[in-house]
Amino acid sequence: MELFANQVLAGIATGAIYACMALAVVMIYQAIDHLNFAQGEMAMFSTFVSWQLMQWGVPYWGAFVLTVAFSFAAGIAIERLLFKPLAKAPILTNVAGFIALYAIINSVAGLIWDFTIKQYPTPFGSSPFLGSQLISTHQAGMIGITVLLLVLLFIFFRFTRVGLAMRAAASLPESARLVGINTSWMIALGWGMAAAIGSIAGMMIAPVVFLEPNMMLGVLIYGFAAAVLGGLTSPFGAVVGGFLVGIFENLVGTYIPGVGNELKLPIALALIVTVLVVKPAGLFGRPIVKRV
Amino acid sequence: MLSTLRIAAVSAAVVAIVTTSTAAFAQKKYDTGATDTEIKIGNIIPYSGPASAYGVIGKTEEAYFRMINDQGGINGRKINFVTYDDAYSPPKAVEQVRKLVESDEVLAVFNPLGTPSNTAIQKYLNGKKIPQLFVATGATKWNDPKNFPWTMGWQPSYQSEAQIYAKWLLKEKPDAKIAVFYQNDDFGKDYLKGTKDGLGAKAASMIVMEESYEVSEPSIDGHIVKIKAANPDVLLIYATPKFGAQTIKKTAELGWKPLQIITNVSASVGSVMQPAGFDNAQGVLSAAYAKDGADPQWNDDPGMKKWLAFLDKYMPGADRTDGSIVYGYGAAQTLAKVLEMCGNDLTRANVMKQAASLKDFEPDTLLPGVKINTSAADFAPVAQLKMQRFKGQKWELFGEIISGDVPAD
Amino acid sequence: MSAAEEVVTEAAAVEAVPKRAMTLGYGTSLVVLAALILTPLFVKNFIIFQMTMLLIYGLAVLALNILTGGSGQFSLGQSAFYAVGAYTSAILMEHAGMNYALTLPVAGLICFGFGFLFGQPALRLSGVYLALATFALATAMPQLLKLGYFEHWTGGVQGLVVTKPDAPFGLPMSQDMWLYYFTLAITIAIYIASVNLLRSRSGRAFMAIRDNEIAASAMGVDVALYKTLAFGVSAGITGVAGGLGAIAVQFVAPDGYTITLAISLFLGMVVGGVGWLPGSIVGSAFIIFVPNIAEGISKGLSGAVFGVLLFLVIFLVPHGARQVAIIAQQLIGKLKKN
């Protein structure tokens, strides 16, 4: 029983990583209606930028703010330069563009900062949180930041004009244009916000998994899974999905005899696919209505 | 009787080598890839993809041969080092090696990286009688001169290293309850096997838990929590650098203090111990055969001074805490030595012959006392290790130099 | 059919390609065929090997094209089917001593079954959700292959070494050349069969589903059956390609069939042109040769160079090689008029 409780706690701690990333995934999905495979790499690059700033002597929170601002601008720039010209191209061509972006960012980061792992600081310290050694103050801080982001996103999408316009632009671009929304800039804004959220995710994740060019490879798979499980249209669902995947995975690895440990990712993914078969829009997503 | 015969045969062969190589100065002999002015050497390594961290090895080797060429080459011949990206994918490795052999026409393929890639090209290279020299993996199967006379390893095998840990535990902590944490691939499984072989009959009773992880996992926290619940007092960490550092850090965060032994692959001061936190790493054990570029104890070492001078001139800006640079330098130096020994007989057969005749060779980067020895029956160049314990900000070596040769199955 | 073509909506994930536009004209086909047959006689064995791989990946891209371009379903899991095919051939050859040529139909059938079964849950999923499900399959496959329980057969993490076949009947050609012509024959057979499949009743059903699923079902197309069938056919062809790949590379190991392979095949399809079957070979050439070109330009930045080249291609021709073919056709048409 103690092991069970421990694994659930450890799952929540790891799940916070996935939840953070899943939020960024949902953000971009809201803006462009599909997934961006380069999202993890963009977050990794931002994290390296913040690390570099700190190496140059900028204090943590200063670097944090600068990095978020940089990422927002970079996100918009990437959209304007690389993906706006592809707006009329088929979706699958856009996906190929994400893969190209992935390759470019990963390779450039490796060249600038090498592939050796780097320690990344945390503003929250890493002592046990509330006496539990399973969750450190950093992980608690990360959960706090994730929840804060979630609330902000919720308010943004629900109550601000820009947020509503963005949702409209993504789900029904033509009707949105008819009511006077500049859909093209909404997409760019979505890229900027997704990049900014991604950079926060990266800076929260790096102290746990260490900073290196390939740090997001695994995280992104889990982030996608979490976002899809929770429902790509729901930031709340994405966060819950993140924690569920973290817990799922630990319990599968601990309690399914024989193959559980070796196959914990496949089993977790199989469970997610099963959930999707029952609820095709994810746990908290809006159901998809098909029309002729 | 048989063995004396074999010794006689070997020494006869050695005599033959000596005479041919002296005679060769009179008449130059070349295979494809060697001329009066140039020796062409091929290499494959992952420059892209998830294993691109190892690309540094190829870059180091390229830089090393540039240095050799600047110094006049080997016996007057320049080294033409052709290196290609295999992205750690066996099909790509086959394609690139065939390109090296059939299109670039190299004399030998040197230091190709990764067990899967090397397995994929081994049959082809042996079939064509082309040296697959000093492969960059620690599987035991490269030391098999009988079946694969054209393939030779370089670093100590994973299994032999694991056996050293097992023997040490049997001696120092015979009642240990051991947990083995390993990467679920050829690398991790070789260590697991070596550990079990080394513990022998006591393996079943001493190992209380075997836990594996996948490279694709972002964090291994869940595994460590699970291992801790089994309450072992020794934790063997057979993981790559990132996961090794995560493990050391996580055990410390859990307030858990087992005796930890970490594989040599992840013993780098700069890229594992420091990120994991020096405080967390105190008392961790490992074994080494090479010096650590970030370890201050080698500041005055003549070999490492040469290494540093090389870095400053040929790889400015390189991260000297990266163990791959030390590795690439040592491997390249060994090849340079072999080519030098070949004299003017640059046939593929002679390259293998000379590679199998290294006697007490000491590259600049190997630990004092660790020597490279090979013979017609021993294709494991570096076979010695020394145990070490992490203290302060560096490794403290202790005990004797241990030889840990494991023949291929 | 014509009714289905008329109700194409913007919402379709994959744009409609009229079935006549999915193939090449006879003249062009003969030229390509002649080039494929004659080139190996004049080049080194290593180039022949590359050409063999070109055909093999071309088959795998073609299989994805049937699934995506034909039936509108998207898969990032093709590497899993490729792996199953490769392992089936390798295990049958090395453990059961079966002739290499006979292992291929077995690999194809097993993968067909596997794909058909996988198509069942995939029925309920579309778009990104299907992408995730297939992505999950591709991620899971290497882990399944190295599972301890199958180690006796699969060789576990070490993989299996496969023997390369000699040319039969004492034909005076190298192993590489024989394997190339063997692969070429199979590729042509599968290509012709695929073209005919897409022209048949089933093919029209695939495309009706691609263009508008609800409209298709209203017209009486058994959507579930044809969608799973498309998955099965695609997986089966990929399986044959995997088996050929195992024989050509002479080695199978979990590391050879990661998600990277699935992504490569996907890129091949986009570059070749979604829904244009002859483009598969162009896409295959892209995924084999462009990384080599990128590496030639810069070792340290090979990934970045590859990405930039890929961007260039999709900027210039967002519809892939198909667009090039169409432009070329128009040019030729103009020239003829003049």
pLDDT tens per residue, range A229-271: 888 888 899 999 999 999 988 888 888 776 767 787 788 788 7
Q: Which domain holds residue A160?
A: 23-216
In terms of average pLDDT, the best of A65-74, B244-253, C157-166, C195-204 is: A65-74
Tokens 């496949």 correspond to what residue?
Answer: A266
Kindly state whether residue C119 falls inside one of the protein's structural domains: yes
What is the sign, positive or negative, of the torsion defined by CA atoms of B335, B337, B342, B343?
Answer: positive
Kindly state whether residue A248 falls inside one of the protein's structural domains: no
- From chain B residues 232-261, the ones with a CB under 8 A of any chain A CB are 241-242, 245-246, 253-255
- Confidence category of residue A116, pLDDT binned at 50, 70, 90: confident
pLDDT tens per residue, range C36-47: 888 888 888 889
- Between chains, do B102 and C45 touch, taking CB under 8 Å as contact? yes
pLDDT tens per residue, range B169-212: 999 999 999 999 999 888 999 999 999 999 988 888 999 999 99
pLDDT of residue B23: 46
- Confidence category of residue B1, pLDDT binned at 50, 70, 90: very low
More confident residue, A260 or C33: C33
- Between chains, do B219 and A262 touch, taking CB under 8 Å as contact? no
Look up the pTM and report it.
0.88
Letter for the amino acid at B270?
G
CA distance A215 to A198: 13
Kindly state whether residue A87 falls inside one of the protein's structural domains: yes
Kindly state whether residue C295 falls inside one of the protein's structural domains: no
Mean pLDDT of chain B: 88
pLDDT tens per residue, range A157-174: 888 988 888 888 877 888
- How many CB pairs lie under 8 A apart between chains A and C? 148
A209 Cβ neighbours under 8 A, 6+ residues apart: A17, A215, A219, B218, B219, B242, B246
Kindly state whether residue A44 falls inside one of the protein's structural domains: yes
Kindly state whether residue A135 falls inside one of the protein's structural domains: yes
Q: Which domain holds residue C62?
A: 45-162+172-258
Kindly state whether residue A57 falls inside one of the protein's structural domains: yes
- Confidence category of residue C70, pLDDT binned at 50, 70, 90: confident
Residue among A9, A209, A219, A249 with most chain B CBs within 10 A, to mutate: A209
Alpha carbon A45 to chain centroid, angstroms: 14
- Complex confidence, ipTM: 0.88
Is C174 a residue whose pLDDT tops 60? yes
- Between chains, do A108 and C149 touch, taking CB under 8 Å as contact? no
Average pLDDT over residues B122-148: 92
Distances (CA, A) of B221 to B48, B245, B247, B253: 28, 12, 8, 10
Domain B158-288+389-403 has what CATH class?
A: alpha beta
B128 contacts B139 by C-beta, under 8 angstroms: no
Average pLDDT over residues B231-257: 92
- Between chains, do C267 and A99 touch, taking CB under 8 Å as contact? yes
pLDDT tens per residue, range C133-147: 888 888 888 888 888
User: Looking at chain C, which residue has its C-alpha nearest residue A231?
Assistant: C129
Kindly state whether residue C325 falls inside one of the protein's structural domains: no
What is the sign, positive or negative, of the torsion defined by CA atoms of C106, C107, C108, C113?
Answer: positive
The DSSP bridge pattern shows strands C251-252 and A128-129 to be unpaired
* Residue A106, min C-alpha distance to chain B (Å): 9
- Between chains, do B184 and C255 touch, taking CB under 8 Å as contact? no
Kindly state whether residue C217 falls inside one of the protein's structural domains: yes
- Confidence category of residue C1, pLDDT binned at 50, 70, 90: very low
- Overall residue count recorded for chain A in this entry: 292
Strand partners, B44: B84
- Confidence category of residue C33, pLDDT binned at 50, 70, 90: confident
pLDDT tens per residue, range B40-87: 999 999 988 778 888 889 999 999 999 999 999 999 899 999 999 998
Task: State how many domains chain A has.
Answer: 1
Interior/surface letters A189-204, b for 16+ CB within 10 angstroms, e for the rest:
bbbbbbbbbbbbbbbb
Statement: B38-156+322-378 belongs to CATH 3.40.50.2300: yes
pLDDT tens per residue, range C239-284: 999 999 999 998 999 888 988 899 999 999 999 988 888 889 999 9
Task: Determine the straight-line distance between the first and last CA of chain C, rounded to whole angstroms.
Answer: 36
- Between chains, do B90 and C45 touch, taking CB under 8 Å as contact? no
A245 Cβ neighbours under 8 A, 6+ residues apart: A15, A18, A222, A225, A226, A229, A268, A272
The answer, for C329 touching chain B at a CB cutoff of 8 Å, is: no
* Residue B191, min C-alpha distance to chain C (Å): 13
Tokens 């540094």 correspond to what residue?
Answer: B56
pLDDT of residue B216: 81
- Between chains, do A266 and C140 touch, taking CB under 8 Å as contact? yes
- From chain B residues 272-311, the ones with a CB under 8 A of any chain A CB are 272, 274-275, 277
Kindly state whether residue A127 falls inside one of the protein's structural domains: yes
Residue among C117, C128, C260, C293 with most chain A CBs within 10 A, to mutate: C128
**CB hemisphere CA count around C321 (13 angstroms):** 21
pLDDT of residue B217: 85
Residue/partner pairs of B6-15 with CB below 8 Å, 24 or more apart? B6/B377, B10/B375, B10/B376, B10/B377, B13/B353, B13/B376, B14/B357
pLDDT of residue C271: 92
Ranges A134-148, B31-45, B94-108, C210-224: which has the least confidence = C210-224
Alpha carbon B186 to chain centroid, angstroms: 15
Kindly state whether residue C38 falls inside one of the protein's structural domains: no
B87 contacts C31 by C-beta, under 8 angstroms: no
Closest by alpha carbon to C161, among C90, C226, C63, C98? Answer: C90
- From chain A residues 98-117, the ones with a CB under 8 A of any chain B CB are 103, 107, 110, 114-117
Closest by alpha carbon to C139, among A221, A230, A18, A142? Answer: A221
Kindly state whether residue C280 falls inside one of the protein's structural domains: no
Give percent of chain B above pLDDT 70.
92
- Grouping H, G, I as helix, E, B as strand and the rest as coil, residue B294 is coil
**CB hemisphere CA count around C160 (13 angstroms):** 26
Hey, which chains touch B, using 3+ CB pairs under 8 Å?
A, C
Q: For chain B, what is the radius of gyration of the CA atoms?
A: 21
User: Looking at chain C, which residue has its C-alpha nearest residue B216?
Assistant: C139
Task: State how many domains chain C has.
Answer: 1
Kindly state whether residue C331 falls inside one of the protein's structural domains: no
Reading phi first (left if > 0) and then psi (alpha if -120 to 50, else beta), residue B376 is in alpha
Average pLDDT over residues A187-204: 92
The DSSP bridge pattern shows strands B108-110 and B132-133 to be parallel
- Between chains, do C49 and B84 touch, taking CB under 8 Å as contact? no
In terms of average pLDDT, the best of A22-36, B19-33, B131-145 is: B131-145
Is C149 a residue whose pLDDT tops 60? yes
Is A208 a residue whose pLDDT tops 80? yes
Average pLDDT over residues B303-309: 92
- Confidence category of residue C295, pLDDT binned at 50, 70, 90: confident
Residue among A14, A117, A138, A263 with most chain B CBs within 10 A, to mutate: A117
Give percent of chain B above pLDDT 90.
58
Alpha carbon C186 to chain centroid, angstroms: 13
The answer, for C291 touching chain B at a CB cutoff of 8 Å, is: yes
**Torsion angles phi and psi, residue B285, rounded to 5:** -105, 155
Tokens 């056996």 correspond to what residue?
Answer: B163
Is B305 a residue whose pLDDT tops 50? yes
pLDDT of residue B281: 93
